[in-house]
Every structure is written in C-alpha cells, then in structure tokens.
Amino acid sequence: MTDVSEGKSPLGFWASAPDRHSAAEDAQGIAAGSMLAALGVTMLASAELLIGGTAGLGFLARYSTGLSFGLVFFTLNLPFYWLAYRRLGLAFTVKTFAAVALTSLLTELLPDFVGFGTLHPFAAALFGGLLIGTGMLALFRHRASLGGFGILALYLQDRFGWRAGLVQLALDLVVLALSFLLATPYVIVCSIVAAAMLNLTLAINHRTDRYIVR
C-alpha cells in the first residue's frame, strides 16, 4: 500500500502516489472518521433521536432495554464480517472491523468526557447527521465502512438476485417502523432531518472520480 519509491515523501508517511493511501494515512482516516461518527452518534443519543441500519437497532436496544449502544452496535455487526471478507476482501473487512470497534468504544467513552446539558433535538439532528455523514465519508474514502446492512444487501443480491437497494430499503423501513413505536412525531421529524443530512452529505460528496484514491 505504501509507495515511496518516487521519493516525494522524505518521511515515508505520505504515499507519493496520489491514487494510493499509505497505511499511516488509512489509520488516521479511520481514526478521524470513527471519532466524527462517534461524536455524531453521541449527539443523536443525547437528544434520543433515531436512525436506520444496524446503528438504528443499537439505538432501539438502548431506548427500549437500556443496553449500551456501543455494545449492541459492535455485536450486531459481528455476523457481517464473514460476508464482508468473502465479498469485499480482507483489507476492507479489517478496516471496517477497526472502524466499527473504534466507533463503538468511543460512543461508550465520550459521555464520560463530553456531556450535553441542553441539546435541542433539531440541532442534534443537524450536527449529528452531518457528523455521521462526514465520518462515513472519510471511512468510505479510505475503503472502510460502518458495517451492517449494506454488506448483507450485496450478498443477498448475488445469492438470490434481490436488488440490493430494495433489500436495504426494506431493512431500514423495518428498523424505522420499530422505532416509530417508541418515538413521538417530533422525534420522528428530527430523525428524518438527521437521516437527510447524513445521506445528502454522502450522496453529494462520495465520488470516486473526484477523490481519486482507489
């Protein structure tokens, strides 16, 4: 992964080829992405908002049973690594495992060091959605993810021919339907704002023709 043969980098830290990340660059990308995502999750959790995917199931477990988000999120993602390894390769799987583990750990640790006294649900949605979106953007650009349904959806498409987008939509709808049992309409509206911030950030910015690292 590291290519310093062209000698542009005296420290060997920066990859000299613009289309490759060095191991150190990947490490800081995953650390930065996980920290931003964990801060976003902490903000959403402080305002008791909801979200889709395996993180949504983590929130559901937290609000309904009091289990910790980090633990549930980490555990729920475990079954997907085998699929990820089979379909997306070792490097992606290891980096995704690191990102999910770090995000889970930080969401456990952060409340001890950052406490939000008053957090307006709308502000939480705006900042939380934006932070998770930018965190995931950093992870995607370093060829990692926050695990979960996306991998399963890809697998099901290959195995049974179900469209991955529809599978993911169905899974998210199930999570949201469950969430709506717990939430007030106001919380639901704010959660939709958070989801929109998150996904717009990704949709606009995740372009492999613009950030050209493969």
Contact positions vs other proteins (CB under 8 A): 13-14, 18-19, 25, 28-29, 32, 35-36, 39, 51-56, 110, 113-120, 122-124, 126-127, 130-132, 134, 136, 138, 145-151, 153-154, 164-165, 168, 172, 198-204, 206-213
Residue number, 22 or 183, with CB nearest to other proteins: 22
Which residues make Cβ contacts (< 8 Å) with residue 165, sequence separation at least 6?
A: 153
Structure tokens at 168: 């993911």
CB of 52 to other proteins, least distance (A): 6
- Contact criterion met (CB below 8 Å) for 56 and 125: no
Q: How far is the CB of 110 from other proteins (least distance, A)?
A: 8
Q: How far is the CB of 120 from other proteins (least distance, A)?
A: 4
Q: Which is nearer to other proteins, 128 or 183 (CB)?
A: 128
Q: Which is closer to other proteins, CB of 106 or CB of 183?
A: 106
Give me the least distance between CB of 40 and other proteins, in Å please.
10
CA–chain centroid gap for 24, Å, is 20
Alpha-carbon dihedral sign for residues 27, 28, 29, 34: positive
Nearer to other proteins (CB atom), residue 97 or residue 127: 127
Q: Is the separation of the CB atoms in 41 and 55 below 8 Å?
A: yes
Reading phi first (left if > 0) and then psi (alpha if -120 to 50, else beta), residue 161 is in left
